[in-house]
Structures are given as C-alpha cells and as structure tokens.
C-alpha cells in the first residue's frame, strides 16, 4: 500500500494543474502581473467552474506555491496534497488505542447501543479515569462510520448475530430454477396467518397457521393445510393435498432444518426425523432435503408468503397484523373512529379456504419468474400427471381423533357422520378427516383397521310431505327405508340366536291368520304390525285395510 493514492487526491492534483494553466494564460494578457493575479483569484472564487467545485476558494499564494512545486514540469503528482492517506485497514484519527477500545466495546455489544449512547458512555468513562482531553462527538461518529463501512461483516455479526451475517453480508448462490420440471421439488414452510378465523372446535376467533408446499419450478402453492392447534400431522396432510392437486408424487421435499421447522410452530423441539414423517415420505419415494441453519434465503416460499400477506391478508376485515408494529388502527386503544368503521366479520375455515383458492387463481395468472413468457398456471399445466390413487395417501391424512359411536353414528364438529357399518356398534373408533372436505370422514378401529367412510348426515324437513318440496320428501323416504332395512337386519340376526319357544314369549294378542298356523302377537302400534306383516305375511288382508287409512298415507306415502 506504499504507492496508494486516493482517487480524490488525484482529482485535486489534476484540478490544480488545470488552474495553473488557466492562470498563466490569464497573466499573459495583462501588463500588471500583480493585478492580474488578484483579478484571476477573484474570478475563480466567484465562479462555478470545474476546478472551483473540487478546489474551492484559492489565494494568490496558493497559485505561486503550486507553480513552484511543478518546477517547470507537467507532472501532476507533484501537486498531490501532502497529508497521510488512510487505507481501508488504516484510519487517520486523533483517537488513541484505549479510547477506541472503550468506544468499540460499547458499540459492538449485542445490546446494539446507538452511536450517540456509546459516545456518551465512552466520554463518561474517560472522565472517570482522569483523562483531561476528551475528543469531540464528531470524532467518535466519524470513526464509527468508517468502521461500519470498512468492517461491515464484523459490525453485523457482533450486533445482530450469525443469521443476520448470513442474510445481509455473506454472498449467496443463485440457483437456476429453469433447469427444474414441475413437481421435481416442493418447498415446505409454515406461515402464521395475520387474520383471524373461526375455530370449528371452539367456535371462537383464532389465528391459525398455514402449512404450505410450493412448487419450485412454477412458484405455485400446490397444496396447503390450515393448522388450528399444535398438530404435527398437518405437515403430512398439506403434502397429501399437494400430491392430490398435482396428481403426481414429487421427487424431493425441501424444507427448513427439521428441528427448526418444528420449533417454529410447536412447543417441544423434536426434530423432523423424530416425528415419524421420514418413513411416510420414504414410502412414497420422496427424498427429504433440509436447508442449512441460518439459510433463510434458500427458501423461495418466503417470497410467496410476503406477497400473500400484502395482497390477501391485509384485505380481510379480520386482519389483526403479524406484530405490534403493523397492527391496524381499529385494534389500538382509543381509536373509536376506526372501531366504528370496522367490520367485525370473521370467516370460517371453509370460507377461508374458498377465499385463499380465489386469490391463488389470481396469483397463478401472473407471469412465472422462472419462465417470463408464461403464466404460473401455464407452467403448472405442463406437469406429467401420474393418476395417483388417493387411497395410498391415507397415511398422510390429518391427525386421528378418538370418538365414540352413538345412535346417529359419530358426532364431529356439530355434525353426525353415519355409515351402515357403524350400526350396532357402541365402542370407540379413530377418525381421520380433512378440513378441505368435511362431507365425509374415514373410520378405523382403535388398532388402526379400516372400517368405513362415514358420510355427513343432513337434517330432514320437519313435515316433508306437506310442506317440503320433492327433494325433501325423497330424502325423508330414503331415510325411512334405511331405518327399516337396519331394523330388519337386526331382527333377522336375533332370530338366529333365539329358539322357537323364546320367540313365542314375544307373541301378542292381536290375531292374524297365516298359511301355517294361527298365533297371537302383541304390537305397540299399527306401524309395527304393518312392518311385521310385510316381512312375514305380505298377503294378509289387514295390510290392504291399513293402506287405506290416513295414518298409513302420513307415515309411508
């Protein structure tokens, strides 16, 4: 660095050489050289010419001194300023080593003291040590600025930590996503929603978490799951939705460091491999790749979530902000004006999913970053479908819940789910469900054996025949038929267990004639008698008589 000359010093020397030439030309036109010198200096100091911008005001003595320094040559280096030049490793300052040590010890503290506070504390400590000369504040500030500009890596690491060093200072690798195919790599991450939704389990507003999988090639969010509570299976369920939407199994799932991914959303700190997902992914032939710690820039899904918050979340009435700094005005204290204007609508999970899907349609209509001549949807449509069998993805469904079978089946989220296989059971079962489709749930035994798919039971019109439409009446008739079939199934099964003498104990006093013999049977009502005769003596004359009554028409027609 011995021959180092700052660029600014070169510009000053060249400007001095230029002004010397102009001065000499000006003097040639005048008989009185002394007066010419004063006139030239006055003209220069009142102009805005190029030399003036660099040199500022000059004097007659400066001109003669520079002329003498040239000594008849045109070597501009002789006109270089004669002060020491500082390099990026050296800085010319009046601060001594002890003053710098105290000042930088405060400035580089992890508490991130401001420059002004570090200066005040440094000056106080120097006074306490009995030092008479205390440098000015501007001296400390200039040194702090020089240190930050020339040692930015040390500044960031000391004050902000390794993650900030990785994200702000270290060089990064640019990846060419155009070399990928749709479905090659899905990038997974979670995002705490900045708006409230209605929790279907509690009925109260809450902030849910969206766990999503983004296709790296098209940058489309191909699948997601809404996580209402701590539920690790949501990650697998989101992957299941992604595979169904893509109709193909990805080659690689790329996500945050396993332990960090869990720590962001769950109270314990088990790693990814400890959650049991490794086996589920391997079974489907999916390779799992984890990002290095403090390598947030590698997750392309982060950019998607920023757009999602700006373009979608902030437009919802239930938006409450993701932090104290960006809370909307209506949440703040004493903001009566905004509270009166605010709409208190909070969407349900189903409504939220519909709105997110609508926004995704808009997002996918935008140009694809990895193929600017196509939209995201066009790039996504080029994928090679595999006709995936959804049944092989059951292991990736949302977490199971333990339920008890009741008369109407399984009660879940204030709805009944029923299937014939559940009739006659009074035991506990495991259910698997998907918040994207609550029309049915899958039912398993406590040991995990598959039982059935239970459909959600719709409610029936109170007076379907007289007040309902055709659809209501047909629904009512179908349910009546189903009840009779189930009852008949039970009766036939019981007959196998009871002897003939035991059956006679149930015989009643209402007579009717059969082809074989005459028996007495007791019925609670005409409906019970009718159903018994239909099953055992369909040619009985009583049936014809009952069909002509109003009771029959009201119950069966």
Model pLDDT for residues 363-414, shown as the tens digit of each residue: 999 999 888 899 999 999 989 888 888 877 766 665 567 888 888 888 888 8
Are the CB atoms for 108 and 115 separated by under 8 Å? no
pLDDT of residue 283: 75
pLDDT of residue 84: 53
- Fold annotation for 177-380: Nucleotidyltransferase; domain 5 (3.30.420)
**In 3-state terms, what secondary structure has residue 397?**
coil
Is the fold of 177-380 the same as that of 400-456? no
**In 3-state terms, what secondary structure has residue 451?**
strand
Which residue's structure tokens are 């009840």? 483
Judge whether residue 114 has pLDDT over 90: yes
Q: What is the DSSP string of 295-363?
A: -GGG-THHHHHHHHHHHTGGGSTTB--SSSTT--GGGSTT-HHHHHH-------HHHHHHHHHHHHHHH
Confidence of residue 357 (pLDDT cuts 50, 70, 90): very high
Q: 170-184, 212-226, 260-274: lowest mean pLDDT where?
A: 260-274
What is the tens place of the pLDDT at every residue in 462-513?
676 666 676 666 777 777 777 787 778 777 777 776 655 445 444 444 444 4
From CA 414, how far away is CA 324, in angstroms rounded? 35
What is the tens place of the pLDDT at every residue in 278-323?
666 777 888 888 776 655 545 678 889 999 999 999 999 999 887 7
498: number of CA atoms within 13 Å, CB side?
13
pLDDT of residue 263: 53
Q: Enumerate residues 6+ apart whose C-beta is below 8 A from 194.
A: 207, 309, 313, 314, 319, 320, 321, 322
- Gyration radius of the chain over CA positions: 42
The more confidently predicted of residues 480 and 100 is 100
- Model pTM? 0.57
Confidence of residue 143 (pLDDT cuts 50, 70, 90): very high
Judge whether residue 158 has pLDDT over 50: yes
Of 466, 472, 473, 439, the closest CA to residue 455 belongs to: 439
291-317: buried (b, 16+ CB within 10 Å) or exposed (e) per residue?
Answer: beebbeeebbbeebbeebbeebbeebe
Query: C-alpha 334: how far from its chain's center?
Result: 32
- What are residue 520's phi and psi, to 5 degrees? -110, 125
Judge whether residue 223 has pLDDT over 50: yes
For the residues 122-141, what does the mean pLDDT come to?
Answer: 92
From CA 297, how far away is CA 170, in angstroms rounded? 11
Beta bridge partners of 519: 512
What is the tens place of the pLDDT at every residue in 245-267?
999 999 998 876 655 455 555 55
pLDDT of residue 361: 94
The domain ranges of the chain are: 7-79, 97-168, 177-380, 400-456, 498-556
Q: 12-21, 169-178, 187-196, 290-299: lowest mean pLDDT where?
A: 290-299
Q: In the chain, pLDDT over 90 holds for what percent of residues?
A: 25
Q: How many CB atoms lie within 10 A of CB 145?
A: 11
The yes/no answer on whether domain 400-456 falls in CATH 2.30.30.130 is yes
From CA 252, how far away is CA 274, in angstroms rounded? 19
Are the CB atoms for 62 and 44 separated by under 8 Å? no
Of 230, 229, 194, 192, the closest CA to residue 211 belongs to: 192
Beta bridge partners of 412: 415
Q: What is the DSSP string of 254-309?
A: EES-HHHHHHHHSSS---GGGGTHHHHHHHTTPEEEEPPTT-GGG-THHHHHHHHH
From CA 186, how far away is CA 300, in angstroms rounded? 10
Q: In the chain, pLDDT over 70 holds for what percent of residues?
A: 82
- What are residue 115's phi and psi, to 5 degrees? -60, -40
Strands 252-255 and 185-198: parallel
Q: Hey, which bits of 419-489 come out as E strands?
A: 428-434, 437-444, 450-456
Which tokens hold the place of 152?
A: 């930015």
From CA 141, how far away is CA 152, in angstroms rounded? 15
For the residues 163-176, what does the mean pLDDT come to?
Answer: 82
Helix (H) or strand (E) holding 293: none
What is the tens place of the pLDDT at every residue in 416-473?
898 888 887 778 888 888 777 778 888 888 887 888 888 888 777 667 666 667 666 6
For the residues 132-151, what does the mean pLDDT come to?
Answer: 92
Are the CB atoms for 241 and 223 separated by under 8 Å? yes
379: number of CA atoms within 13 Å, CB side?
28
Which tokens hold the place of 293?
A: 């710690």
Average pLDDT taken over every residue of the chain: 81
Query: C-alpha 518: how far from its chain's center?
Result: 76
Distances (CA, A) of 102 to 140, 152, 155, 325, 350: 11, 19, 15, 34, 60
From CA 362, how far away is CA 373, in angstroms rounded? 17
pLDDT of residue 524: 67
From CA 323, how far away is CA 316, in angstroms rounded? 16
**In 3-state terms, what secondary structure has residue 248?**
coil
């Amino acid at each position: 660095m011995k021959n180092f000359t700052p660029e600014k010093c070169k510009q000053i020397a060249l400007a001095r050489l230029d002004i010397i030439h102009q001065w000499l030309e000006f003097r040639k036109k005048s008989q009185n050289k002394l007066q010419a010198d004063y006139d030239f200096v006055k003209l220069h100091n009142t102009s805005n010419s190029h030399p003036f911008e660099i040199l500022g005001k000059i004097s007659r003595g400066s001109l003669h001194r520079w002329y003498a320094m040239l000594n008849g040559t045109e070597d501009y280096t002789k006109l270089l300023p004669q002060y020491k030049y500082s390099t990026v490793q050296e800085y010319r300052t009046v601060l001594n080593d002890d003053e710098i040590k105290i000042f930088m010890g405060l400035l580089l503290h992890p508490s991130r003291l401001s420059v002004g506070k570090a200066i005040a504390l440094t000056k106080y400590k120097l006074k306490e040590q009995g030092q008479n000369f205390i440098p000015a504040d501007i001296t400390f500030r200039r040194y702090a600025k020089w240190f930050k500009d020339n040692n930015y890596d040390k500044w960031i690491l000391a004050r902000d930590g390794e993650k900030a060093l990785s994200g702000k200072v270290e060089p990064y690798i640019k990846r060419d996503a155009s070399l990928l195919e749709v479905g090659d790599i899905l990038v997974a991450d979670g995002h705490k929603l900045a708006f409230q939704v209605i929790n279907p389990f509690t009925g109260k507003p809450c902030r849910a978490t969206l766990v999503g999988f983004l296709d790296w090639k098209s940058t489309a969010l191909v699948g997601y799951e809404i996580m209402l509570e701590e539920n690790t299976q949501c990650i697998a369920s989101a992957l299941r939705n992604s595979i169904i939407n893509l109709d193909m199994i990805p080659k690689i799932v790329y996500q945050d460091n396993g332990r960090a991914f869990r720590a962001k959303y769950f109270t314990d700190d088990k790693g990814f491999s400890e959650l049991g997902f490794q086996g589920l992914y391997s079974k489907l032939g999916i390779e799992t790749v984890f990002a290095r710690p403090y390598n947030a820039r590698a997750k392309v899904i982060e950019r998607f979530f920023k757009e999602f918050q700006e373009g979608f979340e902030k437009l919802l009435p239930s938006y409450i902000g993701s932090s104290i700094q960006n809370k909307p005005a209506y949440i703040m204290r004493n903001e009566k004006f905004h509270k009166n204007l605010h709409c208190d609508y909070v969407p349900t999970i189903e409504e939220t999913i519909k709105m997110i899907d609508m926004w995704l349609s808009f997002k996918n209509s935008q140009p694809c970053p990895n193929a600017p001549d196509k939209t995201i949807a066009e790039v996504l449509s080029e994928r090679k479908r595999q006709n995936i069998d959804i049944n092989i993805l059951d292991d990736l469904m949302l977490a199971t819940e333990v339920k008890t079978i009741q008369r109407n089946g399984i009660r879940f989220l204030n709805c009944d789910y029923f299937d014939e296989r559940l009739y006659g059971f009074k035991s506990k079962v495991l259910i698997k469900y998907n918040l994207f489709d609550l029309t049915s749930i899958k039912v398993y035994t406590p040991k995990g054996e598959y039982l059935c798919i239970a459909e959600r039971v719709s409610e029936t019109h109170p007076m379907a025949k007289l007040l309902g439409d055709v659809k209501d009446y047909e629904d009512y008739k179908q349910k009546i038929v189903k009840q009779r079939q189930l009852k008949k199934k039970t009766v036939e099964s019981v007959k196998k267990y009871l002897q003939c003498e035991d059956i006679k104990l149930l015989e009643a006093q209402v007579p009717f004639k059969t082809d074989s013999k005459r028996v007495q049977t007791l019925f609670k009502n005409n409906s019970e008698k009718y159903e018994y005769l239909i099953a055992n003596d369909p040619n009985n004359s009583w049936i014809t008589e009952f069909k002509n009554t109003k009771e029959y028409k009201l119950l069966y027609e």
